[in-house]
Amino acid sequence: MHKSIAVFNISVLATSLAISQTPVFAQQAELSTPYLVKEAPSVSPNSTQNVWTSERLRNAKPLPLPISYNGVVTGQTTQVTGKPQAGRGAKPTVKVSVNQEPLFTPNDLEVQSDQVQPNNVGTQNARFTSSRLVPLSADLSYPYVASGKIFFSKPGGGDFICSGAVIRPRLILTAGHCVHSGSGGNNGFYTNFLFVPAYRDGAAPYRQWSWSRVITTSTWSTGGGAVPNAADYAILEVSDQSFSGVTRKIGDIVGYFGYKTLDLLPNHATLLGYPGNLDSAQKMHQVTAGSYGSGGNNTVLYGSDMRGGSSGGPWVQNFGVVASGQVDGSDKTPNQIVGVTSYGPTAVGPLYQGSSILDSRFTTILNTACAWKSGNC
């Protein structure tokens, strides 16, 4: 079913792209191998943690957001086929003690509140609300606790951070550009992936979780790193850990988000991440926004002031905890991820971010990762 929508173009700064109010859904190319997988080089559980000294963790830099240099979006549309796919999230099932001892002391830990000015609209008129978590300790509660920071290394290129979220009992969803350069096949993968749920100010309250496998779409891994990319997402599998002598999955400890495909436009969502421009990426940040328009090539734009480091962070519809007596709606399932942060401008004026629409390429890599090991999903 397709409805025509009026289209208008808006002038933008040189560092941002022109925006159309009409959704543009890319036709999926038929690829012989729709995804690319890499296994961790060591079979020793949680061995990646040994790589990350306090100094390396402290000096890891926010990965810059990819910048789109797209021309004007013409408003061309294609018929979307198939039905949306969805999965429910789950709260933590195991209560464990919070680890208060920090992994390291961050540089420039304290940021004065008057240095971070809340924004609610940029030059593109994409409105949003941007805030620290209130209170900061909310990151220890579901659903916030299922989001976190990803540390990783570019071979020969230094250490970086992105954002991500637990989406199934052992699986972390992030952006494709946070795990792979966009070219070079298996040699394009980054390494030393480490996920820290509910990271704050150098602390890992629910431990560090090492990767065992990573998968991204062929659409990203063969796209040359250019954005907007139609499928800029990836999934990390992380190893289990022992708590009080019992082996636990990360989803047991912090819970996990649900997901829903083909539901990014129109919609509204809570965007979570660790942007380097806000609180030096030391605290989880949240933006609430509605869909603003199409970025072209199967991507959608939302208002946001987050920049590098927020890549891979979840865009969650129906975020939060259902209240007693809350009126039902037609799309009421709570805490479902509908996108992940993919790209945005470097200029501070436009204030928006883009996400690829979760589609069958997402469900393909999710189903593949689910099949790697019993209990992954």
pTM for this one? 0.87
Q: Please give the mean pLDDT across all residues of the chain.
A: 85
User: Hey, what amino acid is at 29?
Assistant: A
Alpha-carbon distances of 139 from 283, 284, 306, 311, rounded to whole Å: 9, 7, 18, 18
Higher pLDDT, 146 or 48: 146
Q: What is the predicted pLDDT for the residue at 1?
A: 37
Binned at pLDDT 50, 70 and 90, residue 118 comes out as low
Residue 25 has pLDDT above 90, yes or no: no
Ordered by start, the domain boundaries in the chain are 35-106+119-322+331-370
Q: Which residues contact 2 (CB under 8 A, 6 or more apart)?
A: 77, 79
Asked if residue 343 lies in contact with residue 68, where contact means CB atoms within 8 angstroms, the answer is yes
Domain 35-106+119-322+331-370: top CATH class: mainly beta
Q: Which residues contact 328 (CB under 8 A, 6 or more apart)?
A: none
Dihedral-angle region of residue 75 (phi above 0 means left; psi in -120 to 50 means alpha; beta otherwise)? left
Closest CA to 169 of 246, 257, 44: 257
Residue 286 has pLDDT above 80, yes or no: yes
* Structure confidence by residue, pLDDT tens digits, 212-270: 999 999 999 999 999 999 999 999 999 999 999 999 999 999 999 999 999 999 999 99
User: Hey, what amino acid is at 260?
Assistant: K
Q: Give the residue-averaged pLDDT of 39-61.
A: 81
Q: Give the residue-averaged pLDDT of 147-173.
A: 97
Separation CA 174–CA 164 (nearest Å): 5
The string of DSSP codes covering 212-232 is: EEEEEEHHHHTTTT-SS-TT-
Could you tell me the two tokens for 217? 């779409």
Q: What is the predicted pLDDT for the residue at 235?
A: 98
Continuous segment of H or E residues that includes residue 251: helix 250-254
DSSP 6: -
Continuous segment of H or E residues that includes residue 168: strand 158-168
The angle subtended at Cα 255 by Cα 254 and Cα 256, nearest 5°, is 120
Binned at pLDDT 50, 70 and 90, residue 50 comes out as confident
Q: Give the residue-averaged pLDDT of 93-120.
A: 72
Please state which of the ranges 34-38, 194-198, 245-249 shows the lowest mean pLDDT: 34-38
Residue 108 has pLDDT above 80, yes or no: no
Q: What is the predicted pLDDT for the residue at 272?
A: 98
Q: What is the predicted pLDDT for the residue at 329?
A: 83
